[in-house]
Amino acid sequence: MRPENSLINQHDRKRVPRQERAHGKVQLILEAAMLLLDDGGLGALTTNAIARKAGVSIGTLYQYFPDKGAVLDALAEREREALGKRVMAALSDPAPQPPEARALGIIRAVTASYGERRRVHKIIIEHSLASNTKGVSPLVEQVIAMLAHPDLPVPQISEAEAFVRAHAFAGVMRAMLLRDPENALPQSEIEAVLARLMTTL
């Protein structure tokens, strides 16, 4: 009889590749969904279209996502995580900076994600707001905690001040993303005003 730990190790060797393949298929499905949204908007997004674009069977797609809403939820979560990492990196930068310059860095960490696939980001945010999912609220909570954290190399503010600044920040970011590009104000002007708002409240 084989030792028990040999059986466990054999099981782990078999399980990890399956997990990696599953992760790869999920990412393939999400990228296919983003391409469809970018090319044709929400009307082009169906489970059959996603499966065809990803090169997987509809049955495979349903193993991971029961409907297109679940795909949109997963896209929203992925975008939120990437956005959160960029904002946290900007907040945690130890280099000495004036408050307004640091705030502008945080803002640009967010707006940088809007430069590509703006249509896709708009659809994902609208889906998050319409379906009452978490939206950007976890990110807002992180920003509040970071802004008020006493160990950060930023001017310390109260939790209430952090709350107001973070939610004002999130509201303007949403408005920037959802605005009509034809009637939009210059982004650089909005960023500068928002940076002043976040540091002078």
Q: What is the pLDDT of residues 160-197, one digit of tens each?
A: 888 888 788 778 877 877 777 777 788 889 889 888 88
**What's the chain's Rg over C-alpha atoms?**
21
Which whole number is the average pLDDT over 55-80? Answer: 92
pLDDT band at 201 (very low <50, low <70, confident <90, very high): low
Contacts of residue 186, Cβ cutoff 8 Å, sequence gap at least 6? none
Domain 1-66 has CATH 1.10.3720.10: no
**How far is 54 from 62, CA to CA, in rounded Å?**
13
- pLDDT above 70 covers a percentage of the chain that reads 75
Q: Output the six-digit token pair for 175.
A: 């408005």
pLDDT band at 4 (very low <50, low <70, confident <90, very high): very low
Q: What CATH topology corresponds to 75-201?
A: Tetracycline Repressor; domain 2 (1.10.357)
pLDDT band at 71 (very low <50, low <70, confident <90, very high): very high
Render pLDDT for 9-49 as a digit per residue (tens, 0 to 9).
Answer: 444 433 434 788 888 999 999 999 999 999 999 999 999 99
Every domain of the chain with CATH number 1.10.10.60 lies at 1-66
